[in-house]
């Protein structure tokens, strides 16, 4: 049984998702959380992970660790995105299994589903078609994580479960234009353009693709829900079940930031998947639903960005 004293190891606890999970668990009274920096523990090295697990003996492992980035980073560094993500989740899952960890929660991404799958994306669409080429390296690593957890669940009857979030954003996000995702990148671009006499903002693609976005604190609540309940299935989508075009996202962020200049769409750049909307009916059916709407979430994120510009200076300016 999991209780407030259980040893809960959060891999990637300094990242956007991991830190949100840490905050949420702390607020709910969990008092035995474990987090180790990448400088102290290299999750790509199996021996280091094994020795750490033998020493700590966690009751729960939440895998929020990954090498992440947007289209540009995935396209430029395919080997690192495939290999390093496979190393991280292989080491965590295998050592958790070997040491009989009570519960393992694996976090993935909506990119595991086929590029042209019927919308909204259902869990059963996994491995039914070709992946989006711009992030297939990351997706393949995440798919193998899902299947490893499913295999352990099937063969050894252990409570290993995978949660597949839609596009996440929020406080502690990455605002580096070389590696960030679309929403934080837009926040930075519109802010800098506003500061530069409301200069024009150039955005990639046509703006026509549709995307779904989930505030990271809602994702953390979904993880806690999976922690406190024994979910009947091995794979669950986590999102809002609502989407909008990238153009609509841009105008929403532009309004919140207060930028009044022009938006220029560079259609020579790739759009990516035409649409990615998650079917979240399985999570709704078992009792979880998101709470933060998109506009409020962007406002919260921009407020945090403004409050932390100096701390983010190396990445932002």
Per residue of the chain (317 residues), give pLDDT as tens.
799 999 999 999 999 999 999 999 999 999 999 999 999 999 999 999 999 999 999 999 999 999 877 677 777 889 999 999 999 999 999 999 999 998 999 999 998 999 889 999 999 999 999 998 888 999 999 999 999 999 999 999 999 999 999 999 999 998 988 777 899 999 999 999 999 999 999 999 999 999 999 999 999 999 999 999 999 999 999 999 999 999 999 999 999 999 999 999 999 998 877 888 999 999 999 999 999 999 999 999 999 999 998 877 554 43
State the catalytic residue, choosing from 138, 169, 236, 302. Answer: 138
Measured CA to CA, the distance from residue 195 to residue 190 in angstroms comes to 9
Under 8 Å between Cβ of 163 and 236: yes
Q: How far apart are CA 296 and CA 7, in angstroms?
A: 33
Question: Does residue 135 sit in helix, strand or coil?
Answer: helix
Could you list the residues known to form a binding site for substrate, using ranges. 189, 204, 211, 271
pLDDT score of 316? 41
pLDDT at 153: 97
Q: Which helix (H) or strand (E) holds 213?
A: strand 213-215
Are 88 and 67 spatial neighbours (Cβ–Cβ below 8 Å)?
A: yes
Q: What is the largest CA-CA distance in the chain?
A: 61
Cα–Cα distance, 27 to 40 (Å, whole number): 26
| 42 burial type by CB count under 10 A (0-12 exposed, 13-18 middle, 19+ buried) | middle
Q: Which residue from 141, 139, 112 is spatially nearest to 128, judged by alpha carbons?
A: 112
Whole-number Å distance between alpha carbons of 216 and 218: 5
Annotated binding residues for NADP(+): 12-18, 107-110, 142, 165-168, 181
> Is 236 known to be catalytic?
no
Residue 198, φ and ψ in degrees, nearest 5: 55, 45
Does domain 8-173+212-243+276-293 bear CATH number 3.30.499.10?
no
Residue 117 DSSP class: P
């Amino acid at each position: 049984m999991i209780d407030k004293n259980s040893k809960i190891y959060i891999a990637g606890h300094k990242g956007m998702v991991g830190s949100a999970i840490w905050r949420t668990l702390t607020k709910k009274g969990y008092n035995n959380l474990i987090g180790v920096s990448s400088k102290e523990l290299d999750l790509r090295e199996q021996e280091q992970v094994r020795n750490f697990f033998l020493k700590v003996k966690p009751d729960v492992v939440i895998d929020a660790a990954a090498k992440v980035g947007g289209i540009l980073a995935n396209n430029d560094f395919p080997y690192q995105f495939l290999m390093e993500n496979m190393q991280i989740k292989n080491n965590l899952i295998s050592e958790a299994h070997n040491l009989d960890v009570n519960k393992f929660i694996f976090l993935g991404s909506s990119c595991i589903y086929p590029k042209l799958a019927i919308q909204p994306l259902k869990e059963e669409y996994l491995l039914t078609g070709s992946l989006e080429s711009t992030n297939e390296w990351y997706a393949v690593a995440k798919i193998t994580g899902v299947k490893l957890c499913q295999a352990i669940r099937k063969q050894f009857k252990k409570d290993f479960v995978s949660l597949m979030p839609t596009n996440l954003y929020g406080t502690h996000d990455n605002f580096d234009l070389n590696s960030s995702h679309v929403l934080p990148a837009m926040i930075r671009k519109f802010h800098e353009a506003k500061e530069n006499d409301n200069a024009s903002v150039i955005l990639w693609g046509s703006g026509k693709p549709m995307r779904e976005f989930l505030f990271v604190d809602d994702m953390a609540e979904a993880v806690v829900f999976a922690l406190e309940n024994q979910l009947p299935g091995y794979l669950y989508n986590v999102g809002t079940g609502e989407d909008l075009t990238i153009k609509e996202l841009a105008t929403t962020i532009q309004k919140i930031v207060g930028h009044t200049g022009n938006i220029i769409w560079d259609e020579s750049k790739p759009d990516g998947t035409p649409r990615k909307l998650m079917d979240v009916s399985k999570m709704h059916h078992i009792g979880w639903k998101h709470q933060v709407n998109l506009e409020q979430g962007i406002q919260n994120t921009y407020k945090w960005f403004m409050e932390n510009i100096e701390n983010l200076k190396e990445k932002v300016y």
